[in-house]
Chains A and B, each alone.
Chain A
Amino acid sequence: MSRRLPPQHEEWIDRKVKIDFWFEGEKFSAYKGDVISSALIASGQKILARSFKYHRARSTVSMANHDANVILETLTQTNIRADVTHPVEGVRYQAVNTFGGLKKDLAQILNFFSALLPVGFYYKAFYRPRFLFPLWEKLIRGMTGLGKVNSNTGSWRQARKQLFCDVLVVGAGPSGLAAAEYLGRTGLKIIVVDENDHVGGTLGYRHNTDQSAKEFKDTTIKNLANFSSVSTLPMCYAAGLYEGGTVPIVGPDGIKEVHTKALIVATGSYEQPAVFRNNDAPGIILLSAAERLMNRYSVLPCESAVILAGNPEAYERAKNLKKIGLRIAAIIDLSLGPKVHEKEIADARKVGIKVTKITSIEEASLRKGTLDSITVITEHNQTEKIPCDGILMSVGWSPASSLLVQAGAKLSYLTSLEQVIPDEIPPGTYAAGQVNGIHEFKSKIDDGLAAANEAARFLGCDLPIISRPKREGRAHSHPYPVSAHPKGKEFVDFDEDIQLNDLRTSWREGFNSVELMKRYSTIGMGPSQGKISNMNGVRVLADLNKKSPGAIGTTTPRPFTHPVAIGALAGQRFRRYWRTPMHQCHQRMAANFEENGHWLRPMTYGAGSIQTLIEKEYVAVRDAVGIIDVSTLGKVELFGPDCIKLLEYAYTCKFDKLRTDMTRYIFMVDGSGVLIDDGVAARFSDDHFYITTTSSNAHTVVKQLRLFSDLLNLDIAIVDRTRQIGAFNVAGPLSREVLSKITSQSLSEADFPYLAVREFQIANVTARVMRVGFVGELGYEIHASANSAQTIWNSLMEAGKPLGIMPFGVETQRLLRLEKGHIILGQDTDGMTTPFEVNLGWGVNLKKEQSIGKNSLIHLKRQTKRQLVGFECTNTKNLEILESNLIVEGDRILGRVTSVGYSPHRKGIIGLAMIDSTDTSTEAICIKDSRGNLIDAQIVSTPFYDPENLRQLTSQGSDKISIK
């Protein structure tokens, strides 16, 4: 049986386009523009859902996003709000939270046991006998939740966009549109958002019979379209207000973060339900839901309606719906007092509508789970039963004021309106229209204009003041639309199936403030977030406490105003990474990359076990020549007359004796004398230096240098060139031979001694070359512009091919430097390590006039508490010593391993350990490995390899290393 009305003037549906979909295994038809609920109701479907706890039959209540009665799922999606979602061709929808389908939901039986499941029942039952609790827990968990997530569908993300404006207008009803048009004329940049498919708000379904309202809507929308500085975003809602005026707007294509200088909140209000027995039955809806159904979707909500009136506007609205086809059995008026709504009642009776004044509602009666009649107690204390299949409630409003409260506004209860209104709104935020307690149409427009005027003047526009309209003196909300019944089932919160008695129980048990009652009863904590339950909850609590609702207060609304999908929150993923200039070369050589901070670095090259790869690369470096990409090092150019002053302040050593075209090892401490970075400094002239830093600290060191320069007022330019220069280290006994093939620069000991720096052409590329190394072999560290570095690398590889050149990665470098006893900051040091603890005391000059950490270093030199020592284990069978394994003596912890590895040169395990300095006289230590075994190790002096440094200085030295 179709409930579809003839075409309505403001209908949103396109009757030329049909969409077929499935609901609970049955096929339904919709028009384009329908939402799922409207299409189902149009087809005569009465029951659309089951409630959360008692699995009672439910249908729509608000036909907006104000209730969460009808939540559906498909195979690939869940949390589909049927009231605001368009059906998709061919998709199969089903109701969530059923066991056996909507019609035959097995869990309906819980309704009969509701007395055993009051609010907080899980605090009081099911925990004795204790052994049964896991069973109850599993059972209850299995019953809870709304919908299932299909993890096979794959994740989705929506890009987040940024938008900027002068004024954001939230809500495009009468006051929002008036505000936007006014602001459009000022030339300010305006964004208007509205959660509905079309703008207009109540202009489309409540004021649509008013000719002046129609003209206003058409003219305003046309004008807005002509303003280039105004953009309108329908189908988007404001999810919250964050610091700095950021409002995330959530729409079908994701989140747009709007950064606004002023905000106008014209979000209207949520119509509130009445509370009476069986008020949750299908067919019992808000009057605004009926207005939306009939005007937007041309669907009759029911065959015969009873209008429950608690405010004056119910009458006009009822008459408007009667005009377009609603059959009204009666208007029952819950208002108190004989003269209330006198004129409205007379007008209604004139057009043939029966009006009965009542004192309370006894119950809504059901037949086969749907509404059959309503029984009331009249003002004459008589019981009257009115047959109907629809009850349309117009008993009051609660402002949609979340954004205002998040802006810092307070909510005050106005007794004359019997409604909460926003108060003490901070400057820059403005309320307009029904959210501000303005109900009359013309006043809504005036309020919108006034709000826009205030916003424009706040932003500096010179405009005459527009005064705010006065609020009406009559109430638009019933002060207590609650009728209790001895048998209960008067629902205050539909999401959580919370009945009137549950709130009374909460109050009796001492949860008698609005915050406590919320948390104990969970009112307002369901998916609709209390939009149509919180206000009634406050009224009930006020009644129980014998106070006014204003004295009770409200809970604090926080973002989000509606639930937001996690895919929208996640946004587009920007996972930044840095590639060295030689990245392509590494890829060609089958590098095994890992992320080191943002950098992608080769750990090893080729296929095979990591140990095999390391051994191969190790032999290449020790016996022939290897090349490693060290582009990740920090690189800083210093230019100016105060270079030495800055360096001597920032680093521990002296620089005045560093000769031009030479380098030295440098390290930096913080104010407490703790090591924070190390590197190499090269001197080109008195006022030109070039320094390197560790990869992870490049940014920090540059910042520190700039800070020191400013503090000391130095004449120096500091240029961070870290990511503009490529660098690599060519190391091994044949490194000189390889390099000499592609450069005309003399590389002899005399012309290019150890620690020298030179600038010359390599493969026709200008490069800086430092004769330094980390791995204990003759080596050259080459720095060249990033866009040219690959040319040098390729040339070296070509030149070195006959000599067995091989790239080596970070893993091999770790081993090579370990043999040489070189420390890695952050691995062999921690947040408390001083230079004296790691044998770097030689690099600390305490005679300088000033340097960072000097005073601490003076003190620390005398009180070194720990020492970094080298150790060796010759018995390597089944050993698994790892970094951070403890050094122990009985129950005492003496220190920890900082670096460890198998040394092909020593044919055993070597490592570095930080131990209490009082114990350095010992020759042996005991390591507790990861499996708990105690392993003896000898303390040995470092370096483990080439202690006389012959390999690095002269490329002479020990015989080739052999690897077993």
Chain B
Amino acid sequence: MSIKISPLLECYAESNTKPGEVFGMKTVISDVLPRIDTQDFIMDLSPVPKCLVVGRESRQWITEQIDGELGGLFACHLQNNGGFISEIIRDQFLAVNGTNEATWKSFAEKFHAPDSRILTLPYDCAEFIVGGPNIWNLLYAMTSFDLDSLKPNQLSPMRIATVDVYVLPYKNMLRVFCTPADGYFLFNTVKTSVISGGGVSMGFNPSIDSLWVSN
């Protein structure tokens, strides 16, 4: 039995999804990838493992674990497994795994190894991705943030439908991170807008990261 349940699981009733388990989390799965050039979509990414590395030495500690230098606040250091690491508050780093389960073990080993210099905490959140040709237009009905100012490889804190979120843009796509408590409301609000505009709601597909890797 899965011990984790996606906070967005309840939002799905679509026929193009089936129940499944990813990264030890109960969610819904889709076998197909979205056609981002022609159709808007929304997809639950909550199962993707995340953790928070905290402490004054967290930057140095993380640098020792990875290849390369970390950027400034909100800059995303891309990992080989398709994930990224970003400082979201001073001395607090969000580490997000790639969407492929095969890379999970090494991620967990790396970031959950005990070390007194830092504190590693699980970062439970609701995450989803929206994308498609019309997505910016839809989002402009829910935010007063200038979406044109979003930069690739940079997390941006903002508000969507009054909910505090972090977002990460890719071409024609936006990854959205919010707390589990906000997830149900926010996902349903965005999903309603996507579907009323002719888009689709999809379950998790581990190959989704091929879309932003290629973009």
Q: Is the CB of B119 within 8 A of A717?
A: yes
**Complex interface bits, B19-50 against A, C-beta within 8 A gives 1, otherwise 0:** 00000010000000000000000000010000
Chain B residues lying within 8 Å of A577, measured Cβ to Cβ, are 185
Q: Are B189 and A574 in contact (CB under 8 A)?
A: yes
Interface residue from B5, B119, B141, B163 paired with A790 (Cβ < 8 Å): B5
Q: Write the chain A residue with the least CB distance to B2.
A: A791
For residue A160, which residues in chain B have a CB less than 8 angstroms away from its CB?
A: 141
Kindly identify, within residues 160 to 198 of chain B, every residue whose CB is under 8 Å from any CB belonging to chain A.
Answer: 161-163, 179-182, 184-185, 189
Once the chains bind, are B121 and A159 in contact (CB under 8 Å)? no
Residues of B within 8 A of A163 (CB): 140
Q: Is B56 close to A, CB under 8 A?
A: yes
Expressed in whole angstroms, the Cα–Cα distance for A113 and B90 within the complex equals: 77
Q: Are B140 and A162 in contact (CB under 8 A)?
A: yes
* CB contact under 8 A between A791 and B10, given known A576-B163, A717-B119, A724-B179: no
Whether, in the assembled complex, B133 has its beta carbon less than 8 Å from a beta carbon of chain A, the answer is no
Give A578-602 as 1s and 0s: 1 = Cβ < 8 Å from B's Cβ atoms. 1111011000000000000001000
Q: Contacting B141 at CB < 8 Å: which of A572, A719, A763, A786?
A: A572
Query: In whole angstroms, what is the CA distance A791 to B4 when docked?
Result: 7
Other-chain residue from B2, B92, B179 in contact with A717 (beta carbon distance below 8 A): B92
Please tell me if the beta carbons of A574 and B122 are within 8 angstroms of each other in the complex. Answer: no
Q: Write out the residue numbers on chain B whose beta carbons fall within 8 Å of the beta carbon of A640.
A: 55-56
> Closest CB-CB distance, B49 to chain A, in whole Å?
11
- Chain B residues within 8 Å of A257, by CB: 144
In chain B, what residue has the closest Cβ to A765? Answer: B3
The answer to whether A724 and B140 touch across the interface, beta carbons within 8 angstroms, is no
Please tell me if the beta carbons of A724 and B143 are within 8 angstroms of each other in the complex.
no
Q: A161-B140, A717-B54 are in contact. Are A723 and B179 (CB under 8 A)?
A: yes
A164 at the binding interface (Cβ < 8 Å): yes
Q: Give chain A residues whose Cβ lies under 8 Å from the Cβ of B123.
A: 724
A786 B180 Cβ-Cβ under 8 A: yes
| Contact of B181 with A578 in the complex, beta carbons under 8 Å | yes
Looking at the assembled complex, report how far the CB atom of B151 sits from the nearest CB atom of chain A, in whole angstroms: 15
CB contacts (< 8 Å) of B181 on chain A: these are: 578-580, 599, 631, 723, 786
**Contacts from A to B (Cβ < 8 Å):** 159-164, 189, 257, 259, 572, 574, 576-581, 583-584, 599, 631, 637, 639-640, 688, 715, 717, 719, 721-725, 763-765, 785-788, 790-791
Question: At the interface, yes or no: B64 with Cβ under 8 Å from chain A?
Answer: no
| Pair A576/B55 contact, Cβ less than 8 Å | no
Please indicate the chain B residues that have their CB under 8 angstroms from the CB of A764 in the complex: 3
The reply to whether A787 and B140 form a contact with Cβ atoms under 8 Å apart is no
Given contacts A257-B144, A637-B54, A717-B92, contact A786 B7 (CB under 8 A): yes
Cα-based distance from A580 to B137 in the complex (angstroms): 31
Contact of B119 with A581 in the complex, beta carbons under 8 Å: no
Could you tell me the distance between the alpha carbons of A722 and B7 in the complex, rounded to whole angstroms?
Answer: 15
- Sampled A-B contacts (29; CB under 8 Å): A160-B141, A161-B137, A162-B140, A162-B141, A162-B143, A574-B161, A574-B189, A576-B163, A578-B181, A578-B185, A579-B184, A599-B181, A637-B54, A637-B119, A723-B182, A724-B123, A724-B124, A724-B179, A724-B180, A764-B3, A765-B3, A785-B124, A787-B6, A787-B25, A788-B3, A788-B4, A788-B5, A791-B1, A791-B2
Question: With A637-B119, A688-B119, A765-B3 in contact, is A576–B182 under 8 Å at CB?
Answer: yes
B161, A576: Cβ atoms closer than 8 Å: yes
* A719 touches which of B92, B140, B148 (Cβ 8 Å): B92
State the Cβ distance, A392 to closest chain B Cβ, in Å.
44
Closest CB-CB distance, A723 to chain B, in whole Å? 4
Tell yes or no: B76 within 8 A of A by CB: no
Chain A positions within 8 Å of B91 at CB level: 717
In the assembled complex, B202 has its CB within 8 A of some CB on chain A: no
| Chain A residue at smallest Cβ distance from B137 | A161
B96 within 8 A of A: no
Which B residues touch A763, using CB under 8 A?
A: 3
**Closest A residue, CB atoms, query B148:** A164
Shortest C-beta distance, B96 to chain A (Å), equals: 15
Nearest neighbor of B25 in chain A, beta-carbon distance: A787
A786 to B124, CA, bound (A): 6
Q: Which residue of chain B is the closest to A246 with respect to CB atoms?
A: B144
Write out the residue numbers on chain A whose beta carbons fall within 8 Å of the beta carbon of B189.
574
Residues of B contacting A717 with CB < 8 Å? 54-56, 58, 91-92, 119
Set A631, A639, A791: member contacting B54, Cβ < 8 A = A639
Residues of A within 8 A of B109 (CB): none
**Among the listed B3, B6, B56, B179, which residue makes an inter-chain contact with A715, where contact means beta carbons less than 8 Å apart?**
B56
Nearest chain B CB to A37 CB, angstrom units: 33
Q: In chain B, residues 72-96, which have Cβ atoms closer than 8 Å to a Cβ of chain A? A: 89, 91-92
The answer on a CB contact under 8 Å between A574 and B121 is no
User: How distant is the Cα of A583 from the Cα of B184 in the complex, in angstroms?
Assistant: 10
- B8 CB to nearest chain A CB (Å): 10
Q: Using an 8 Å CB-CB cutoff, how does the interface string of B126-152 with A read, 1 for contact, 0 for none?
A: 000000000001001111111010000
Which residue of chain A lies nearest to B145 when distances are taken between CB atoms in the complex? A162
**Contact (A161, B141) CB under 8 Å given A786-B7, A787-B6, A790-B5:** yes
A787 close to B5 (CB less than 8 A): yes
B200 within 8 A of A: no
Chain B hits for A189, CB < 8 A: 148
Closest residue of B by beta carbon distance from A688: B119
Which residues of the other chain, A, contact B144 by a CB distance below 8 angstroms?
A: 162, 257, 259
